[in-house]
Structure 1
């Protein structure tokens, strides 16, 4: 760890540093799973504490090279509250600030432009109940119509309305969004969202008649998920293993 990284670690609270490490890991895992879009999408996390401050990616840095110390701390208006040589993508924080301001439980907001996610977001029917992976998503999914690159402050109320209390939001013709109490929760939710879209695109490409899952099964999926995970939070259940994988393949995020 470089001396500058050590000085930042010593300058922030242990809770903020832990949030930085978790978010940096989330960025690198997003790249590892192939969901990044060069530098043109975003994951944000609230800094623990009374201030409404957030961490987001330094604009121009690739996801697989982001570190805890390189993340930019901003307020709800996207203004830097700690000096950084990097800027923040204004389109990115329009979406994130809207969700953070409206959802106290959404400590992490994750937004991707994955190929499969964008492909399904362009389909009129949206996500279909074609796979086991899709069922948990469909039980907590909203849709938001495309309004162009997210630069318009006036779009924020509609984003908030369309997300509602859901975990998942499909941004039509644009991509996917998940929220979570932690970066781990938002990432694992995104895994199932992306997997559902990938399976749908591949099933459609096969050309055969598709068999949707019946509504009564969808209605009972939340109870089934609780049984499978034994009541554990899926993010907490999977996260330690994801970090071990990241440590093997792309260490250094905690610097």
Structure 2
């Protein structure tokens, strides 16, 4: 009997020691370091040209999305869904029926990263509504894409490439190139010269300012537990999502400003 008590006490002490080792906190006092102000080196006062991102359009877009998600384990309840929006593609094509580049077509693609936490059922007591289980999580990506027309607050700057130019030379001694040809006066067929210009424009880009997400989760094909009729299990849900995005479209442009003296 005494040996059993000793063993029980040893087990309790061992479990307590293991619990104590589960979490450990160590603190280290940080020293305070003084800072010294530095006077920035600036350019001389006067007119200056800078290259900065310029907002050429700002828009608010509402996107309806429907997705079906299959969980890896049957769930009885969704506890929490954390959502983040990411953009994977942004393209702007200046297009206007009046030819003045007053509007453009915006192509956007992205996805909603969703971390779903849900409760599972591992055991229940017959005749009661007591259910026990684990909390699991599943991370999925819900893609979306859309195309919309935007109105430019300031038109983007694009320089188009010009057609290739060809320079011809005059000669009256074609025999220098072809000994068998008769001497003629006109274009020199021996020499050709070409001129080509290629302009590299700044590509417009998009910034995601704000994302609002509203959704409804519908349990697809649920089945009830006969032992607990008030609970139902499901491993597939259909989501109807409304995503509202606020976007800025920018382009790096040269701007003439005036530098002030300090």
TM-score (norm 2): 0.20
More strand by share: 2
Please tell me whether Structure 1 or Structure 2 has the larger radius of gyration of its CA atoms: 2
More helix by share: 1
Q: Report 1 or 2 for greater relative contact order, CA contacts < 8 Å, sequence distance ≥ 6.
A: 2
